[in-house]
Amino acid sequence: MQVDYEYMGQCLTDVGVDSGASGAHGLLCGLMCGGEMIPQQRLMQEWFPGGVGDDPAIGACRAAVDELVQAVNASIDGADFGFPLLLPDEDTPLPQRAAAVRDWCEGFLYGVGLAETGAADGLPPQAKEALQDLSEISRMDVDGIQGDEEEEVALTEVTEFIWVAAMLVHDELAQRQEKSEQ
């Protein structure tokens, strides 16, 4: 099973998690880039602080998160550069897609912070700037988006930038973690 935006959104709705699919994916990626060894466990603790029990809907949600972890790991470790963001398809109106991009960045930043690695401390300026840029994107005002071709191109460029920024943060934090383990 490959988890898509609609399925993940439905899983989250079914278990009462307010985060949308893009925000959840961003959170998961932030945890992974921040060095969280078992990101799906941390994510489930964040969503269900009282425990998960044996609720079948939560089990389906956990399976979807596990699938996302595998997909992100394969993308990060694979030959392709970056990993695809979990966003609505291109038929979705531009304001909704822009909101999903904003939510992804917000989730990513939260995940990096949750990883408790002091992630931004001691990062090179370029990586700190990437985190700052993601922070700016997370505050994007989507209310004024009309959906014209220029805005469409801009959102595509922002999405591509996010891949690069997230991979930069991942690589810098991975290098730092390797140095600390030596």
Spatial separation of the C-alpha atoms in residues 101 and 166, rounded to whole Å: 13
Q: Does residue 45 contact residue 13 with C-beta atoms inside 8 Å?
A: no
pLDDT more than 90, % of the chain: 38
Mean pLDDT comparison of 17-21, 121-125, 127-131, 135-139, highest-scoring range: 135-139
According to the model, what pLDDT value does residue 1 have? 46
Phi, psi of 89 (to 5 degrees): -70, 170
- pLDDT confidence tier of residue 70, bands split at 50, 70 and 90: confident
**Which domain CATH number covers 142?**
1.20.120.740
What distance lies between CA 22 and its chain's CA centroid?
A: 7
| Position 75 pLDDT exceeds 80 | no
pTM for the whole thing?
0.89
Question: How do residues 94-131 score in pLDDT, each as one tens digit?
Answer: 999 999 999 999 999 999 888 866 656 677 888 889 99
Q: Tens of pLDDT along 33-67?
A: 888 888 888 888 888 877 777 888 888 888 888 88
For 140, the domain range is: 5-181
How crowded is residue 89: how many other Cβ atoms within 10 Å of its Cβ? Answer: 9
Number of domains in the chain: 1
CA distances from 35 to 32, 55, 87, 119, 158 (A): 5, 29, 23, 9, 24
Report which residue type is found at 105: C
